[in-house]
């Protein structure tokens, strides 16, 4: 039998590596900008076209490379940062595997220009699909400029899986923001085609936050800091009243490297306990400094997941830092920091003392949580009982009311009433119907907005005093992208300077203040965009329905109750909200009678 195992050609091996390192344009942006930072750049310019699909260019004023190093940088596992295996545990630079440039060059048409300060001429290298087409000396600026054109041009299947330009641009912007936050001492700029989205001079962290997210953050930030022997945490948190309903503006860095860590996110949320509205998330930018030997950053190709030697100790210091910041800036009436002070002292003294304090605090928090859950037992039981009944089909007709209907076919004479300002209870022939007022109104508005988008018929209420709204550059670009759909829904928006809109009208269902409505809509739209694959129109209809609908806890009058029930059963799919939540279930009469032994 002939031998069947053989080595892959380098070009194919590089394409396979690219699948791990370069998942989308934003991945290439991250790798190229990290290389610029490692080269000691003081100014980095990022230029993209079509969200990086047709062009990604990163220009820096770093140390540059010699002709030999420039060629070697395109080989797999070629690196200037690793000499022995032990070096992996002392990493403080960003990229270090030596796969980035080789992987990007394998799936694009790449041009590299680089020159060291002491050299008169630099080096130009052209690469297509891992094949070097040209290398020659060229006059160029000190530093390095890398242009990546037509990403995935030689892997059509991968290119077809890329999302729309707005979605991919959002990912590019996210990577840019993370690196700009972690390196405030470096000047950054971002060009989207011919539009300058960000122009950030070297600054302090607080100024960098304002430059990225807008002047509204200028007076919403509280500085926080805590330090023990091996861990230091510092940064800024947002005021509780500025918290948002969706995640997205939470940034954790370990040794200046952005990470995702739900456990440490919980530490921040725990510090905010009792200060935030339900289901809302605070803004924070926190930097954790720790000896590299206590953290492993090499657990995932994108290096956004890390492992700590003692994750519980880091949790405790993060929580203490945030609580200290909130208390110092008088964002809460009173906070007792004795536990945190003891914790810091015991952590510094070593041993298991810090862990003991941590466990005591966590146990107390757990007891409170369990008590709260016990108090909600009956609410949970009501939710669980939904499973005991057959699922209602979307095309169902309205259930027959137990009491006689009004002459116009509305349930005016039905003894419907509101329960806990969350549910509408309506007696029907089969038993008791319980309607979730929030989910029901979202379904009604969702179908209404869908129809308006189809017919371009959204009615607008004109603003008596038009409001100007300043947006982050990425949000402004997104608004421009979806402007036709917003207009169809009833928004009237005009450009009013750089990253600024003048709101002259909002949809007739938009009862909120113009700025709050637009901010909330954008926030919900981006949240949907990051978790769901939806057409723009469907996403907008869902987002606007969510932001303008009746909320749980809102008291309704008899006329509003009856109108809500009637409009719900005029919907094409009355049993489900737009996100799939049930709008109602029926507690069958036979179930009720069995409960009472009848």
3-class secondary structure per residue, 242-292: HCECCCCCEEEEECCEEECCHHHHHHHHHHCCCCCCCCCECCEEEEEEECH
- In terms of Cα–Cα distance, which of 278, 244, 276, 283 is closest to 521? 244
Give the pLDDT score at 248. 73
Name the residue with higher pLDDT: 352 or 484: 484
Q: Does residue 573 have a pLDDT over 60? A: yes
Distance CA 377, CA 381 (A): 6
Say whether 302 sits in a helix, a strand or coil: coil
Distance CA 329, CA 168 (A): 38
Q: Does residue 303 have a pLDDT over 90? A: no
Q: Does residue 364 have a pLDDT over 60? A: no
At residue 9 the predicted structure's pLDDT band, cuts being 50, 70 and 90, is low
The DSSP H or E segment spanning 100 is helix 100-106
CATH no. for 10-202 = 3.30.565.10
Distance CA 568, CA 549 (A): 13
At residue 436 the predicted structure's pLDDT band, cuts being 50, 70 and 90, is very high
Distance CA 181, CA 158 (A): 30
Mean pLDDT highest for which of 65-74, 210-219, 343-352?
A: 65-74
Give the pLDDT score at 387. 31
**Domain 459-507+510-548 classified CATH 3.30.1370.100?**
yes
pLDDT in tens, 467-516: 888 888 888 888 888 899 999 999 999 988 888 899 998 888 766 677 88
Residues recorded for the chain: 598
The Cβ of residue 138 has, within 10 Å, a number of other Cβ atoms equal to: 13
At residue 16 the predicted structure's pLDDT band, cuts being 50, 70 and 90, is low
Integer-rounded Cα Rg, in Å, for the chain is 29
**Paired tokens of 489:** 């829904």
Where do the structural domains in the chain lie, given as residue ranges? 10-202, 214-373, 379-439+554-595, 459-507+510-548
Give the pLDDT score at 339. 42
**Paired tokens of 191:** 């060009």
* Structure letter (DSSP) for residue 390: P
Name the residue with higher pLDDT: 79 or 96: 79
Burial of 305 (0-12, 13-18, 19+ CB in 10 A): middle
Average pLDDT over residues 378-401: 40
Average pLDDT over residues 37-64: 95
Q: What are the strands of the beta sheet with 431-436, ordered from one edge?
A: 417-419, 423-428, 431-436, 584-588
Say whether 506 sits in a helix, a strand or coil: strand
Q: What are the strands of the beta sheet with 460-470, ordered from one edge?
A: 460-470, 500-507, 492-495
The CATH class, in words, for 214-373 is alpha beta
Q: Which range, of 407-416, 447-456, 464-473, 546-555, averages the lowest pLDDT? A: 407-416
At residue 568 the predicted structure's pLDDT band, cuts being 50, 70 and 90, is very high
Name the residue with higher pLDDT: 3 or 326: 326
Percentage of the chain beyond pLDDT 90 is 39
At residue 228 the predicted structure's pLDDT band, cuts being 50, 70 and 90, is confident
Give the pLDDT score at 6. 66
Q: Does residue 147 have a pLDDT over 70? A: yes
pLDDT in tens, 157-175: 888 888 888 889 989 999 9
Beta strand 221-227 with 143-149 is unpaired
Name the residue with higher pLDDT: 300 or 307: 307
Q: Do domains 10-202 and 459-507+510-548 have the same CATH topology?
A: no
Mean pLDDT highest for which of 179-183, 322-326, 350-354?
A: 179-183
Average pLDDT over residues 58-71: 93
The Cβ of residue 4 has, within 10 Å, a number of other Cβ atoms equal to: 5
Burial of 204 (0-12, 13-18, 19+ CB in 10 A): exposed
Q: Does residue 368 have a pLDDT over 70? A: no
The CATH class, in words, for 379-439+554-595 is alpha beta
Q: Does residue 97 have a pLDDT over 50? A: no
CB 339 within 8 A of CB 226: no
Give the pLDDT score at 478. 86
Assign residue 409 a region: left if phi > 0, alpha if psi is -120 to 50, beta otherwise?
left
At residue 41 the predicted structure's pLDDT band, cuts being 50, 70 and 90, is very high
Dihedral angle computed from the Cα positions of residues 532, 536, 539 and 542, in that order, rounded to the nearest 10 degrees = -160
At residue 411 the predicted structure's pLDDT band, cuts being 50, 70 and 90, is very low
Distance CA 573, CA 217 (A): 42
The DSSP H or E segment spanning 507 is strand 500-507
Distance CA 284, CA 273 (A): 15
CB 36 within 8 A of CB 73: no
Percentage of the chain beyond pLDDT 70 is 77
Q: Which range, of 10-14, 214-218, 251-255, 289-293, averages the lowest pLDDT? A: 10-14
Average pLDDT over residues 207-215: 90
Q: Does residue 367 have a pLDDT over 50? A: no
Mean pLDDT score of the chain: 80
């Amino acid at each position: 039998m002939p031998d069947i195992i053989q080595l892959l050609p380098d070009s194919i091996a590089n394409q396979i590596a690219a699948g791990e390192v370069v998942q989308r344009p934003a991945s290439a942006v991250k790798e190229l900008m990290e290389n610029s930072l490692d080269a000691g750049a003081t100014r980095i310019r990022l230029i993209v076209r079509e969200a990086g699909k047709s062009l990604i260019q990163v220009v820096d004023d770093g140390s540059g490379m010699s002709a030999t190093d420039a060629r070697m940088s395109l080989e797999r596992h070629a690196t200037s940062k690793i000499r022995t295996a032990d070096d992996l545990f002392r990493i403080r630079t960003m990229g270090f595997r030596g796969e980035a440039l080789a992987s990007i060059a394998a799936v694009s048409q790449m041009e590299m220009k680089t020159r060291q300060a002491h050299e008169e001429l630099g080096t130009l290298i052209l690469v297509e699909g891992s094949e070097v087409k040209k290398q020659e000396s060229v006059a160029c600026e000190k530093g390095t400029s890398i242009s990546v054109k037509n990403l995935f041009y030689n892997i059509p299947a991968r290119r077809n899986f890329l999302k729309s330009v707005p979605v991919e641009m959002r990912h590019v912007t996210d990577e840019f923001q993370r690196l700009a936050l972690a390196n405030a001492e470096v000047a950054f700029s971002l060009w989207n085609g011919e539009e300058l989205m960000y122009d950030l001079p070297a600054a302090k962290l607080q100024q960098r936050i304002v430059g990225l997210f807008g002047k509204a953050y200028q007076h919403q930030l509280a500085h926080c800091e805590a330090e023990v022997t091996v861990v230091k945490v510092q940064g800024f948190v947002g005021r509780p009243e500025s918290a948002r309903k969706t995640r997205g503006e939470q940034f954790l860095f370990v040794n200046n490297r952005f990470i995702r860590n739900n456990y440490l996110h919980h530490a921040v949320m725990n510090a905010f306990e009792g200060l935030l509205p339900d289901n809302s998330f605070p803004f924070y930018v926190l930097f954790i400094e720790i000896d590299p030997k206590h953290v492993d950053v090499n657990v995932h190709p994108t290096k956004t997941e890390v492992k700590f030697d003692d994750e519980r100790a880091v949790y405790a210091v993060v929580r203490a830092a945030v609580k200290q910041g909130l208390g110092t800036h008088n964002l809460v009436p009173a906070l007792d920091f004795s536990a945190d002070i003891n914790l810091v002292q015991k952590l510094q003294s070593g041993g298991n003392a810090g862990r003991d304090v941590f466990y005591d605090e966590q146990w107390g928090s757990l007891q409170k949580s369990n008590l709260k859950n016990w108090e909600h037992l009956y609410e949970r039981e009501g939710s669980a009982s939904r499973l005991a009944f057959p699922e209602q089909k979307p095309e169902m007709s309205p259930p027959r009311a137990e009491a006689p209907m009004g002459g116009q076919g509305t349930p005016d004479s039905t003894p419907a009433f509101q329960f806990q300002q969350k549910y509408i209870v309506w007696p029907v022939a089969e038993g008791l119907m319980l309607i979730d007022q929030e989910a029901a109104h979202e379904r009604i508005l969702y179908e209404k907005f869908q129809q308006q988008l189809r017919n371009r018929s959204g009615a607008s209420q004109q603003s008596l005093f038009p409001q100007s709204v300043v947006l982050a550059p990425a949000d402004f670009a997104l608004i421009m992208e979806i402007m036709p759909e917003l207009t169809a829904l009833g928004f009237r928006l005009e450009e009013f300077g750089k990253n600024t809109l003048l709101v002259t009208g909002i949809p007739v269902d938009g009862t909120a203040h113009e700025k709050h409505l637009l901010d909330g809509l954008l926030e919900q739209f981006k949240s949907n965009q990051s978790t769901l694959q939806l057409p723009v129109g469907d996403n907008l209809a869902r987002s606007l329905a969510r932001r303008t609908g009746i909320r749980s806890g809102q008291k309704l009058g008899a006329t509003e109750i009856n109108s809500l029930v009637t409009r719900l059963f005029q919907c094409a799919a009355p049993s489900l909200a737009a996100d799939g939540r049930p709008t109602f279930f029926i507690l069958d009469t036979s179930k009720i009678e069995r409960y009472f032994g009848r």
